[in-house]
Homo-oligomer: A and B are copies of this chain.
Amino acid sequence: MSQEKDSLDFQVMQTRLREFAQARDWEQFHSPKNLSMALIVEAAELVEHFQWLTEPQSTSLPADKLQQVAYELADIFIYTLRLADRLHVDLPATVQRKIELNEKKYPADKVKGSAKKYTEYGSGE
């Protein structure tokens, strides 16, 4: 359990990724501008897996494809963390705040039942 907690620790992961880059002299490439490009490239690799699938197909991927998708999600998260590190953003605190903002912006009782208007509410998260 404590090991699991460690694995969840954003700070530990951030530090590890920073040291990974430093040990390879890669920090010089990791400007926020460049990292944002790398992040969207990974996001597109995710999209590529789903582009010709129907929505139902996208919910039940074969095991090998699911493994690839899982690694794309990991890559996206890794670059998100690297960006947070370079910009000194406290990611978990910002996520908390963003969720709270969304809960106010989209009150469940008003939103529910008008699901067909979802697109008008924007991304919803």
Contacts and interface: CB of A to CB of B under 8 A. Distances in A.
Interface string A23-46: 111101101111011111111111
Classify the secondary structure of A's interface with B: helix
Given A20-B102, A25-B113, A40-B46, 7 more contacts: A4-B92, A34-B52, A37-B50, A38-B123, A52-B119, A66-B87, A71-B94
Contacts of A37: 36-37, 47-48, 50-51
Contacts of A86: 59
Total identical chains: 4
Nearest to A55: B31
Interface of A: 4-5, 7-10, 13, 16-17, 20-21, 23-26, 28-29, 31-34, 36-59, 61, 66, 69-71, 73-80, 82-84, 86-87, 89, 91-99, 102-103, 106, 108, 111-113, 115, 118-119, 123-125
